[in-house]
Copies of this chain bind each other. A is one copy, B any other.
Amino acid sequence: MTTFSFAIGATDAAARTGVITTARGEIRTPAFMPVGTAGTVKAMLPESVRETGADIILGNTYHLMLRPGAERVAKLGGLHKLMNWPRPILTDSGGFQVMSLAQLRKLDETGVSFQSHLDGAMHHLTPERSMEIQALLGSDIHMVLDECTPFPANERDAESSMELSMRWAKRSKTAFREAPGRALFGIIQGSIYPKLRERSANALREIGFPGYAVGGLAVGEGQARMFEVLDFTLPHLPTERPRYLMGVGKPDDIVGAVMRGIDMFDCVLPTRSGRNGQAFTKRGPVNLRNARHAEDPRPLEADCRCPACREYCRAYLHHLVKSDEILASMLLTWHNLTHYQDLTAALREAITQKRLADHAASLLKAYASGDVDPN
């Protein structure tokens, strides 16, 4: 019987590699989790997601509870079976998207009431219901229900929001449905205030979780401030537990966060950008809609292993994007997820070889160099 565990491998300054073990397989960290919002990583077959190198994907509780519905997913054998992804899945609590997508939302001590953006039906999401839903979905890593404190927030508002999240974290832990190899992660809030982040971290450690997420970032505060928050927050977390930076980010965000000791990431950026004609490359983002690609016979990236780069030229990708062809979304999503997985794989290797600082510097320099004369 598998027990959820985290084993640290190599370290390089604050950064580390590791392996998270779940009932459905191992996750090599630092790990990037592609987002499978509504039970599909958009425009990708799950076997293609695996081919990019992903060990784990994320499912959105908010979307799945509304459609197809948690009870229905359970009846159909759980999310893994339904979407044909047998490996680890992390589900968020639903809270973040209730606040960003739902209508008529009302938050009180019990939880948050809202109206579905799909059919107008009323729902009440509490820590207890979030735990129930995540168990019905059958994911491997569950997240506590929290309030993602809006940015900016003054210290008083950030404090009461954080304290509410801490009470919900305790209720989440109590309501968590244990299963072999399954884990519940806590989420640190406290906005940009060092004392609040410290109090939040301590509150969560007191409750005790096998993993800790940093929430309330990537909400408009900017990279410098995000790194600052990580700098004063992470020292308050136990080194022996995985640390997950929620909703982050751009490739250079990931580089900087790994250097500060983050182990896990999720973000819609590679998938969403892929559907919008934007590719991430080792020389920074490339907008394939741009007319300069119209007659370019070169691959998007000569040394990339993804099918978009191996089998097609920029002129064709440009044509597909301009023509709104589904294949454009398929190929560019595949490329972007490959970029993110290769990025984290290279970071893991650099940590193992204790050359992360040099590697990071050369990555950031290349990102900033631009795609003026690529390949």
Question: Which A residues contact B (CB, under 8 angstroms)?
Answer: 38-40, 42-45, 67-68, 72, 75-77, 82-84, 275, 294-295, 297, 307, 311-313, 315-316, 319-320, 322-323, 325-327, 329-330
Q: Hey, which chain B residues are within 8 Å of A312, CB to CB?
A: 82, 84
Asked whether B77 lies within 8 Å of A327 as measured between CB atoms, the reply is: no
Q: Hey, which chain B residues are within 8 Å of A320, CB to CB?
A: 39-40
A75→B67 CA distance, assembly (Å): 47
Given contacts A83-B316, A316-B39, contact A294 B68 (CB under 8 A): yes
Q: Hey, which chain B residues are within 8 Å of A42, CB to CB?
A: 325-327
Q: Hey, which chain B residues are within 8 Å of A323, CB to CB?
A: 38, 67
Nearest-Cβ distance from residue A297 to partner chain B, whole angstroms: 6
Q: Which of B44, B67, B311 makes the CB contact (< 8 A) with A322?
A: B67
Tell which of A39, A67, A323 has the most Cβ of chain B within 10 Å. Answer: A323
Chain B, Cβ-Cβ closest to A334: B45
Q: Hey, which chain B residues are within 8 Å of A44, CB to CB?
A: 327
Q: Hey, which chain B residues are within 8 Å of A75, CB to CB?
A: 295
Asked whether A313 lies within 8 Å of B72 as measured between CB atoms, the reply is: no
Q: Give 6 closest A-B pairs by Cβ, nearest first.
A: A43-B326, A84-B311, A68-B319, A40-B327, A38-B323, A82-B316
Tell which of A38, A67, A319 has the most Cβ of chain B within 10 Å. Answer: A319
Nearest-Cβ distance from residue A83 to partner chain B, whole angstroms: 7
Interface of A is mostly: loop
Chain B, Cβ-Cβ closest to A64: B319
Chain B, Cβ-Cβ closest to A333: B326
Asked whether B45 lies within 8 Å of A307 as measured between CB atoms, the reply is: yes
Nearest-Cβ distance from residue A116 to partner chain B, whole angstroms: 13
A275→B327 CA distance, assembly (Å): 13
A102→B200 CA distance, assembly (Å): 63
Asked whether A330 lies within 8 Å of B326 as measured between CB atoms, the reply is: yes
Tell which of A45, A307, A327, A330 has the most Cβ of chain B within 10 Å. Answer: A327
Asked whether A326 lies within 8 Å of B326 as measured between CB atoms, the reply is: yes
Chain B, Cβ-Cβ closest to A314: B76
A117→B46 CA distance, assembly (Å): 37
Q: Hey, which chain B residues are within 8 Å of A322, CB to CB?
A: 67
A294→B24 CA distance, assembly (Å): 27
Asked whether A76 lies within 8 Å of B327 as measured between CB atoms, the reply is: no
Asked whether B38 lies within 8 Å of A315 as measured between CB atoms, the reply is: no
Chain B, Cβ-Cβ closest to A324: B38
A240→B323 CA distance, assembly (Å): 40
A42→B82 CA distance, assembly (Å): 25
Asked whether A297 lies within 8 Å of B45 as measured between CB atoms, the reply is: no
Q: A83-B316, A326-B330 are in contact. List 10 more A-B contacts (CB 8 A).
A: A38-B319, A39-B320, A40-B320, A42-B327, A68-B294, A72-B295, A75-B295, A76-B316, A82-B316, A84-B311
Q: Which of B67, B275, B315 makes the CB contact (< 8 A) with A319?
A: B67
Asked whether B297 lies within 8 Å of A77 as measured between CB atoms, the reply is: yes
Q: Hey, which chain B residues are within 8 Å of A307, CB to CB?
A: 45
Asked whether A82 lies within 8 Å of B40 as measured between CB atoms, the reply is: no
Q: Hey, which chain B residues are within 8 Å of A315, CB to CB?
A: 68, 72, 76, 82
A322→B320 CA distance, assembly (Å): 25
Q: Hey, which chain B residues are within 8 Å of A275, CB to CB?
A: 326
Nearest-Cβ distance from residue A30 to partner chain B, whole angstroms: 28
A326→B274 CA distance, assembly (Å): 13
